[in-house]
Amino acid sequence: MAMSIGPVLAAVLIVFVVAATAVAEEAKGAQSTYIVHLAPDHPALALSAARSGSHGALLGRVLQLPRHLQAPRPRLIYSYAHAATGIAARLTTAQAAHIATQPGVLSVHRDEARQLHTTHTPAFLSLSQAAGLLPAASGASGTASDVVVGVLDTGIYPIGRSSFAPAIALGPTPSTFSGGCVSAGAFNASAYCNTKLVGAKFFYKGYEAGLGHPIDESKESKSPLDTEGHGTHTASTAAGSAVPNAGLFDYARGQALGMAPGARIAAYKICWSSGCYDSDILAAFDEAVADGVNVISLSVGSSGLAPSFFRDSIAIGAFGAVKKGIVVSASAGNSGPGEYTATNIAPWILTVGASTVDREFPADVVLGDGSVYGGVSLYSGEPLGSTQLPVVYAADCGSRLCYLDALDKEKVAGKIVLCERGGNARVEKGAAVKQAGGAGMILANTEESGEELLADSHLVPATMVGQTYGEKITHYVKTDPSPTATIVFRGTVIGKTPSAPQIASFSSRGPNYRAPEILKPDVTAPGVNILAAWTGEASPTDIDIDPRRVEFNIISGTSMSCPHVSGLAALLRQAHPDWSPAAVKSALMTTAYNEDNSGETIKDLATGVASTPFVRGAGHVDPNRALNPGLVYDADTADYIGFLCALGYPPSLIAVFTRDGSDADCSAKPARSGDLNYPNFATVFSSYKDSVTYHRVVRNVGSNASAVYEAKIESPAGVDVSVTPSKLVFDEENGSLAYEITLAVAGNPVIVEAKYSFGSLTWSDGVHEVRSAIAVTWPSGGASSM
């Protein structure tokens, strides 16, 4: 499934042929936004976006447009200098195609819209004062207070939100941070920013260009102010201050606490009601790097297959950030449970999947025949009580998926409606039932979502049930001559779930579409039914007909799991300021756990069986163990350039990442992309006689300089695994040691049903367990030993 990179001009020209076809219906001469990556000495970089309105002709000249292509005049939107080198400009397809052929132009691609990947978790993660990751008391000096987390999202809503108040003695803003807050519209920087919220900026030019008109400020704020809620939620999850007695209505009451409550927050608003544009994302990366953030949290990505790295503005911006020592954590996406759905899959990005915690909001369906089926809900209105009400199947009332304006009011009025998941928003289904006069809703999962349960603050008494219970309820409704039911809401329950964590069905999965030998996602973290701060500008359901406003909200997505890991990265950055982004990632990956609280392998809610490394990555983050991982797999940008060389990228395209004006030297490239010093292993066998060897280097970061580690191998089915040497003896002079791991088809394999086999390699010194997942993809099927 990996894309092979051909000659650079051919690749770029293909891009423009596709782009030209896509806009064939546009009027001749219509402009679109293009991102143009340039050599560092290109004269276009000297132009300021502030001067673009009156210097379109100058931009056309420095981009070497011939006379017949100088109209309409190109318009500069952004100039990039820190996370990337280039510009964003309004160009016609003909202008863009011509520019792509000019000297000093590295890559050109159209601006694309990305989508958002929509405080019990500190306890679930066992974050402890004893481990040194959390402050001892709310008045004490806050751990991670020297760290700034840059949150690229929908902005921030600090008005009346204690999550963004400096509740602990933070002291002055770190001297390494040079950013700040921008006043605009409804956002008053002097009133809202403080030693906790140290940065707030907004990026809208790509969005407005895509809209074709200015932002409607009656609907969204052209300022850092969050009118959607998503950015406020993610920022408070990563680094929110402690807030007592937080909750959504009467659900999840307790202390809300970000992962790194002592860290500072800098909010960069890149997402608007219609999406998040690459040009704005790259501008925010550029600004965050220049400001001096330490961690970047990005819960945004593609909704389809991951783009090629050289056309992926997130991958490019993240590379520039990592080059400056900034950890970049990003969501894997919500396109599961299909294969190859993970996005943000570049190896320099910490890619996060989503899983459950041991807290639920049970709401049971009680049928007229006495059967009781468990579900979940955050409904807070008047309950139905014990009286049984008639139940109807939505498919018999005009809309199986319960769309607005589609249900038959005569059939629905006064009844509980059984709706199926999919097609439209879950809360919108309940709104459709209410609109039609229904008394309540049972929302049943289909095969696609399996047993995944997501709680919502519905507008009618409603609950969600899994596929199995949904099928039983459907059978009852179809076969009983007078089916009835009620819903019983049971509040908040902690620690009584069958098992936790479990991987959410929506969580995007591997294998890695662009680099099959890099296992993605990297880790999983809490992302289901997460409580965090919310905007005062939108309802908890985020639908217009809901008039309610709340200080905290409970939502789900890899958008929620990403900031958990971003906050943990901030804690590790404070504890180990000399660690590289790769070392921080390695510590979180190799110490992750793979068993739930019942001692079984973490389950996949999409299948109901054990998850695999393509679903959970290295496992579920364990912050206390990550503080002292024993060994780390380190890498720098030179290693990532070697990885790109091994993928087949030509030096001229790699220059998009290096940005130094010189071609990358691929003469000494690794034998394969999997030779990158990555903590996990993923191999694709080309035949049933294949054998693959990878090289790794580990650095001892434990307190014992003379530690001795021995290898423990769990071989994937049908694979022989050998490690040389099998013992690593460290001392004062040899703090880093190399080893080789060989994966070979075992014996005489036969093709079987499974496409994949999984195992692990663990280095142990009796104190630390440094675990690496192993994933094997078989050619056209699977293999096992006879």
Residues ≥6 apart with Cβ < 8 Å to 682 = 510, 511, 512, 516, 517, 518, 519, 674, 774, 775, 776, 777
In 3D space, the residue among 763, 350, 767, 344 whose CA is nearest the CA of residue 590 turns out to be 763
The helix/strand/coil state of 562 is helix
Residue 23 has pLDDT above 60, yes or no: no
pLDDT bucket at 63, cuts 50 / 70 / 90: confident
Q: Which of 236, 559, 566, 652 is catalytic?
A: 559
Q: Which of 230, 233, 620, 768 is catalytic?
A: 230
Is 230 marked active-site?
yes
Distance CA 747, CA 785 (A): 6
Distance CA 87, CA 106 (A): 12
- 742, β-bridge pairs: 693, 722
Residue that the structure tokens 């797999």 belong to:
633
Any idea which of 127-136, 275-284, 356-365 has the lowest mean pLDDT?
A: 127-136
Based on C-alpha coordinates, what's the Rg of the chain?
A: 27
Q: What's the residue count for the chain? A: 786
- 353, β-bridge pairs: 524
Residue 335 has pLDDT above 70, yes or no: yes
Q: Are 24 and 13 in contact (CB under 8 A)?
A: no
| pTM for this prediction | 0.91
In 3D space, the residue among 464, 429, 456 whose CA is nearest the CA of residue 605 turns out to be 464
pLDDT at residue 2, as a whole number: 40
Distance CA 556, CA 426 (A): 12
| Cα 692-631-346 angle, rounded to 5 deg | 55
Token couple for 482: 């007078």
pLDDT at residue 17, as a whole number: 37
As a whole-number percent, the residues of the chain with pLDDT over 90 amount to: 81
Distance CA 786, CA 625 (A): 39
Helices and strands (H and E) in the chain: how many: 18, 41
- 696, β-bridge pairs: 739
Residue 585 has pLDDT above 60, yes or no: yes
Any idea which of 77-81, 139-143, 498-502, 550-554 has the lowest mean pLDDT?
A: 139-143
pLDDT in tens, 662-721: 778 898 889 899 999 999 999 999 988 899 999 999 999 999 999 999 999 999 999 999
Cis link prior to 651 (omega < 30° from 0)? no
CA–chain centroid gap for 566, Å, is 10
Report, as an integer, the average pLDDT of 401-430.
Answer: 96
- 744, β-bridge pairs: 691, 720
The pLDDT mean for the chain works out to: 90
Token couple for 116: 């958002």
pLDDT at residue 753, as a whole number: 60
Distance CA 526, CA 524 (A): 7
pLDDT in tens, 261-272: 999 999 999 999
Distance CA 98, CA 93 (A): 9
In 3D space, the residue among 712, 54, 574, 682 whose CA is nearest the CA of residue 347 turns out to be 682
Token couple for 775: 């994933």
Report, as an integer, the average pLDDT of 513-538.
Answer: 97
Report, as an integer, the average pLDDT of 11-32.
Answer: 48
Strands annotated E in 504-659: 523-526, 530-533, 552-555, 603-604, 631-632
Q: Are 558 and 507 in contact (CB under 8 A)?
A: yes
Token couple for 306: 């991951």
Is 559 marked active-site?
yes
pLDDT at residue 10, as a whole number: 36
pLDDT bucket at 304, cuts 50 / 70 / 90: confident
Residue that the structure tokens 């902005």 belong to:
155
Distance CA 396, CA 774 (A): 49
Task: State the CB neighbour count (10 A cutoff) for residue 703.
Answer: 9
Where b means 16+ CB within 10 Å and e means fewer, 473-492 reads bbebbeeeeebbbbbbbeeb
Residue 110 has pLDDT above 70, yes or no: yes
Residue 121 has pLDDT above 50, yes or no: no
Task: State the CB neighbour count (10 A cutoff) for residue 472.
Answer: 16
Q: Which of 153, 364, 596, 639 is catalytic?
A: 153
pLDDT at residue 303, as a whole number: 83
Q: Are 143 and 132 in contact (CB under 8 A)?
A: yes
pLDDT bucket at 317, cuts 50 / 70 / 90: very high
Residues ≥6 apart with Cβ < 8 Å to 444 = 418, 419, 420, 421, 464, 465, 467, 469, 470, 471, 473, 474
pLDDT in tens, 344-400: 999 999 999 999 999 999 999 999 999 999 999 999 999 998 899 999 999 999 999
Distance CA 347, CA 642 (A): 12
Residues ≥6 apart with Cβ < 8 Å to 550 = 248, 249, 534, 539, 540
Report, as an integer, the average pLDDT of 271-299.
Answer: 97
Any idea which of 371-375, 625-629, 748-752 has the lowest mean pLDDT?
A: 748-752
pLDDT bucket at 782, cuts 50 / 70 / 90: very low
Distance CA 337, CA 32 (A): 34
Token couple for 772: 């690496």
Report, as an integer, the average pLDDT of 621-642.
Answer: 97
Q: Are 136 and 338 in contact (CB under 8 A)?
A: no
